[in-house]
Amino acid sequence: MNHTSHKHLSSANLPQLAKGVATPGYDRSQVETGIVHLGIGAFHRAHQAVYTDSVLTTGDLRWGILGASLRSGDTRDALNPQDGLYTVAVRDGSGSSFRIIGSIQNVLVAPESPETLLAAMTDPKVKIVSLTITEKGYCYSPASASLDESHPDVTHDLANPATPRSAIGFIVEALARRRKNGTEPFTLLSCDNLPANGQTLKRVVTRFAELRDAELGAFISEHVAFPSTMVDRIVPATTDDDRAGVTDAIGLADNWPIMTEPFTQWVVEDHFPSGRPAWEKAGVTFVGDVDAFELMKLRLLNGSHSTLAYLGYLSGHETVSDTMAGEGFATLIERMMDEEITPTLPVLPDFDLDAYKKQLRERFRNPALRHRTWQIAMDGSQKLPQRLLNTIRVRLEQKASFDLLALGVAGWMRYATGTDERGNAIDVRDPLAGEFKARTAGKTSASALLETYLGMEQIFGTDLPANTAFHDAVGDALAKLIGQGAARTVAEL
Ligand code: NAI
Ligand code: CS2
């Protein structure tokens, strides 16, 4: 993986780092594993692992992280040869800073050895199992947020409990073993962009456990903690140019540095019966109920992000910052935030919402982060409900306008056809991509496409397709996109 003449990032080579690069301020050889993280992707490494690295620096060495991929070996192949070390490169218009993170001790690849991961999750010293497995990793129906019992991973894991494939399967088997051994359960900490992510995780885990063994399901429901969290830091996928740039900047070759922004926020319900790192010392906010923070973030940031992704991609913009510079887009997002999303949010006392929204739009404009519209467009079927559809449901209850939100939904429909405005194929990544293709084959009119998508109950439920105002608003927007394209439609707003 080392494509440069530089020596490799490793514990032994840390003294050869360029000046000004921050390094772990603790003895990594003394760190114990207290956390297992499922889904060892870019976001975890820019967010939770950084907060935990800061706690380790305070001297509490119980909280090392064992990372696990339930899919591929790419992160393991990148990090383990460099002793789990990696660079977090924080970038914005004023420049870059670099910090080597040491909180991840090792990375496992679950499909290679499910037993190794299960043994780690059963270790009494592991007090927290956290997750960033993407929305689709929860094996749930997006509209109902309940377990999809027909999901192939669910049916496999119910039949093969000792060799699971899904995060849920691993979690339930590990909890069953801990219960049998008389070991207290770990706390489950979802760090994915889901509504009420802790409750959603509890719902799918408990249901899966019940299907295995009613008593186990009852035990988990009563004795296992699932605090919800609001997580926020923009973390684009790392490119080869990023790798080369970071390697040159720090003076050692890093197989997989992480690129992110200065802004970071983590709001967590403080419910950890088996203990937790003192994350508050690293700037984490602990609350009794995270709902208001989560709705604000999922609707204002992520709803805007998905709207920019679909309409931006269709307009020919590669990144979010490029899209924000496109004619009419900044106004679209400001109006959507102010006129249609803000009235659906609970009021957070003593919180400057206007400043928060202004900061969001500045974050979207960050010229140093190349956050691709194509990346954000992924898994739209899993994201639309919490980002746009639930907001529209509130606007319908308020008997208020939602034309801009409807345009975001129509943008997704147009994108999901898999053909762009120049007739080129779109690489649509989505668990339901095959179903989109099959259902929309040969359909080109707005009305035909609208009916086809609204027929997908797992995304739109049954209420929205039956609602005339929703049907007409999305249909009108989709007709404009098909008739005159996304760029002109946005510019004319
Ligand atoms: P990534 O692509 O770097 O990592 C995704 C991780 O999820 C990988 O480890 C992958 O193996 C795992 N995964 C994918 N499908 C899975 C499945 N079906 N079962 C189990 N594991 C699965 O993506 P990244 O950037 O780390 O984002 C992951 C999640 O983190 C997002 O889906 C979102 O929920 C949350 N997040 C991401 C932010 C970002 O800006 N990237 C910011 C805030 C939250
Ligand atoms: C993005 C999010 O890829 C996406 O869906 O909208 O990952 C976004 O970058 C984060 O939620 C920001 O906190």
pLDDT-based confidence at residue 318 (cuts at 50, 70, 90):
very high
Integer Rg of the chain from CA? 23
Name which residue sits closest to atom 39 of ligand 1, judged by CA.
235
Tokens (6 digits) for 109:
């690849």
pLDDT tens sequence across 241-274 = 999 999 999 999 999 999 999 999 999 999 999 9
Domain boundaries along the sequence of the chain: 14-287, 291-491
CA distance 27 to 104: 13
CA atoms of 55 and 149, how far apart (whole Å): 39
Asked if pLDDT for residue 4 goes beyond 70, the answer is no
The answer, yes or no, to whether residue 423 has pLDDT greater than 70, is: yes
In the predicted model, is pLDDT for residue 235 greater than 80?
Answer: yes
| Beta pairing partners, 265 | 232
Q: Atom 3 in ligand 2: which residue has the minimum CA distance? A: 376
Distance 300 CA to ligand 2 centre (A): 11
Q: CA–CA separation, 83 vs 28, rounded Å?
A: 10
Alpha carbon 357 to its chain centroid, in Å, reads: 20
CATH superfamily, region 14-287: NAD(P)-binding Rossmann-like Domain (3.40.50.720)
Does CATH place domain 291-491 in 1.10.1040.10? Answer: yes
Q: What is the pLDDT of residues 148-173, one digit of tens each?
A: 999 999 999 999 999 999 999 999 99
User: Whole-angstrom distance between the N-terminal and C-terminal Cα of the chain?
Assistant: 48
| Ligand whose nearest atom lies closest to the CA of 235 | 1
Query: CA 375 to CA 373: how far, in whole Å?
Result: 5
pLDDT of residue 433 exceeding 90, the answer is yes
Q: Which atom of ligand 2 is nearest to the CA of 309?
A: 6
Q: Is the CB of 233 under 6 A from ligand 1?
A: yes
Spatial contact of 251 and 18, defined as CB atoms under 8 Å apart = yes
Q: How far is the CA of 305 from the centre of ligand 1 (A)?
A: 16
β pairing state of 95-101 and 86-92: antiparallel
Average pLDDT, the chain: 97
Q: Between helices 152-159 and 197-212, what is the axis angle to 10°?
A: 40
3-state secondary structure at position 80: helix
